[in-house]
C-alpha cells in the first residue's frame, strides 16, 4: 500500500471530508459529535492505508513543528541526567510536543554545533543544560534571535534567557541546622571542578562564581552561618585519575559528614570506603546533592538534598511553551530542594529536637 496516501484520498475512500478525518485522527473535541461508526470507519481505513499525517505540511501552515530540542552534556554520565531526560520527554509529550536530544559530552564546541543543528531543524524551542554561556551568551542570543526561544537549565540570573535551577540553600540550611544541633561540626564537600573555576572566595566574575558554585555557595553560606570551617575535596568528573585521587584524600582523614555533588560520586566513595575497612555511616556519613530514585536502592540508601527533576522538567517545559507563544519576558525560576532521609547518615544526627 502507498505510504504517501494523502488525507484527501483517505477522506474520499471514507466518504467524509478531510476536516472530519483530521478531527477523528487528532482526537479533537469535535470528534464526540461524530457517530461511533464514522470514527471507527476513519480509523480502520487509516490503518489499512497506512496513512500518516504530513507533519511537514502542517508545520508549513501553522509555523509550528510541535518539536522541542534538548542539549545536554551526558545523559548516561549520571542517573541525574537520565532521570531528567525521562521527565522532560514525558512532560513534553503531555503538552503535545516531541523532544529531540543532542548529547555533547560537555564539549563546548559540540554544544555550539548542537545548537546550530537544532536551530536549522526549525524546532519550536530548545532547552539546554550547558556550560557555554560564560563566553558565548551574546553569540547564542544572536543565533536564536527570532528563530526559537531558549530555556537554560541549571543556571540562574542570565539576563537574556529564561532559566530554571534549584536553590540548594534551603536543603543545606536544614541539613546544617540538624547536624550542628547534635554537635557535628566537621562537614566537608566534594565537587567537580571540570570548569577549572575557583572556589567562591576566588571567583573573578559573578557568572564564574555561579557556574561552579550553586552547590558550593550554599555550602559556604551554611558554614558561615553555623561557624563551620569549610573543607573542600575537588576532582574532575571526566578524569578517573582525579576522582580516585580525591576519594583517596577523603579516606585518609574522613570528615564526620561528607557532602557530595552527585549520587554517583557518593556511591563511589562508599564503595571505596568498604574496600579499606571503613563503614558508612558508622565511621563517617555521606550526603549527596542529587537524590535520584536509583540510589535509594543503594546500600545504604543515600541521604540527600534532593533535586526533584520532575519539578525542573515541568517548569522548564512550561516556560518554554510560554515563550513560544509570547516571545517576551524572560524569567528566572528557582526551585526548592528538600532534605531526604536515607541511611548513609547516623540517624540520631538528623533527628529534630523534641
Question: What is the rounded CA–CA span in Å between residue 95 and residue 85?
Answer: 15
**Please, what's the b/e burial string for 268-284 (b: 16 or more CB within 10 A of its CB; e: otherwise)?**
bbbebbeeeebebbeeb
Bridge partners (DSSP) of residue 100 are: 69
Q: State how far the Cα of 128 lies from the Cα of 335, in Å rounded to an integer.
A: 17
Q: How far is Cα 184 from Cα 258, in angstroms, rounded to an integer?
A: 12
Which three cell numbers mark 10?
Answer: 483517505
- Which residues are registered as beta bridge partners of 232? 189
Rg value, the chain, Cα? 25
CA distance 232 to 105: 25
**pLDDT 10s per residue in the chain (354 long)?**
345 677 788 888 889 887 788 778 777 667 777 888 998 998 898 888 887 766 545 544 445 578 999 999 888 778 899 999 999 999 999 888 899 999 988 888 898 899 988 888 778 999 998 877 767 778 888 888 767 899 999 987 778 899 999 999 999 999 999 999 999 999 999 988 754 444 444 444 444 334 446 888 899 999 999 999 999 998 887 788 999 999 999 999 999 999 999 999 999 999 999 999 999 999 999 999 999 988 778 889 999 999 999 999 999 999 999 998 887 788 999 999 999 999 999 999 988 754
Complete DSSP assignment for 277-319: T--TTTT-EEEES---SGGGGSSSPPEEEE--HHHHHHHHHHH
The domains of the chain, with CATH numbers, are 7-53 (1.10.260.40), 65-165+309-334 (3.40.50.2300), 166-307+339-350 (3.40.50.2300)
For residue 62, what pLDDT is reported?
46
pLDDT of the residue at 353: 57
Instruction: Please tell me the pTM assigned to this model.
Output: 0.78
Amino acid at each position: 500500500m502507498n505510504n504517501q496516501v494523502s488525507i484527501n484520498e483517505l477522506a474520499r475512500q471514507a466518504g467524509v471530508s478531510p476536516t472530519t478525518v483530521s478531527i477523528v485522527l487528532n482526537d479533537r473535541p469535535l470528534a464526540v459529535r461524530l457517530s461511533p461508526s464514522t470514527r471507527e470507519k476513519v480509523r480502520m481505513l487509516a490503518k489499512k492505508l497506512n496513512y500518516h499525517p504530513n507533519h511537514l505540511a502542517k508545520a508549513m501552515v501553522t509555523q509550528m513543528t510541535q518539536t522541542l530540542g534538548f542539549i545536554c552534556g551526558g545523559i548516561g554520565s549520571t542517573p541525574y541526567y537520565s532521570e531528567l531526560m525521562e521527565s522532560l520527554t514525558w512532560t513534553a509529550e503531555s503538552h503535545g510536543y516531541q523532544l529531540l536530544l543532542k548529547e555533547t559530552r560537555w564539549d563546548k564546541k559540540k554544544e555550539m554545533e548542537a545548537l546550530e543543528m537544532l536551530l536549522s531543524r526549525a524546532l519550536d524551542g530548545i532547552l539546554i543544560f550547558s556550560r557555554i554561556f560564560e563566553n558565548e551568551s551574546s553569540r547564542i542570543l544572536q543565533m536564536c534571535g527570532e528563530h526559537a526561544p531558549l530555556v537554560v537549565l541549571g543556571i540562574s540570573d542570565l539576563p537574556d534567557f529564561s532559566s530554571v535551577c534549584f536553590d540548594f540553600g534551603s536543603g543545606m540550611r536544614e541539613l546544617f541546622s540538624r547536624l550542628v544541633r547534635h554537635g557535628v561540626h566537621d562537614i566537608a564537600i566534594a565537587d567537580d571542578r571540570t570548569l577549572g573555576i575557583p572556589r567562591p572566595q576566588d571567583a573573578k566574575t559573578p557568572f564564574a562564581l555561579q557556574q561552579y558554585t550553586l552547590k558550593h555557595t550554599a555550602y559556604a553560606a551554611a558554614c558561615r552561618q553555623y561557624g563551620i570551617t569549610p573543607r573542600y575535596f575537588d576532582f574532575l568528573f571526566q578524569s578517573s585519575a582525579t576522582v580516585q585521587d580525591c576519594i583517596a584524600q577523603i579516606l585518609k582523614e574522613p570528615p564526620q559528614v561528607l557532602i557530595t555533588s552527585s549520587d554517583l560520586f557518593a556511591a563511589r566513595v562508599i564503595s571505596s570506603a568498604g574496600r579499606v575497612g571503613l563503614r558508612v555511616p558508622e565511621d563517617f556519613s555521606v550526603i549527596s546533592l542529587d537524590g535520584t530514585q536509583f540510589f535509594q536502592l543503594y546500600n545504604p540508601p543515600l541521604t540527600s538534598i534532593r533535586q526533584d527533576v520532575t519539578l525542573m522538567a515541568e517548569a522548564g517545559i512550561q516556560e518554554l511553551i510560554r515563550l513560544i507563544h509570547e516571545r517576551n519576558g524572560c524569567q528566572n525560576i528557582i526551585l526548592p530542594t528538600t532534605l531526604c532521609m536515607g541511611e548513609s547518615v547516623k540517624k540520631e544526627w538528623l533527628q529534630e529536637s523534641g
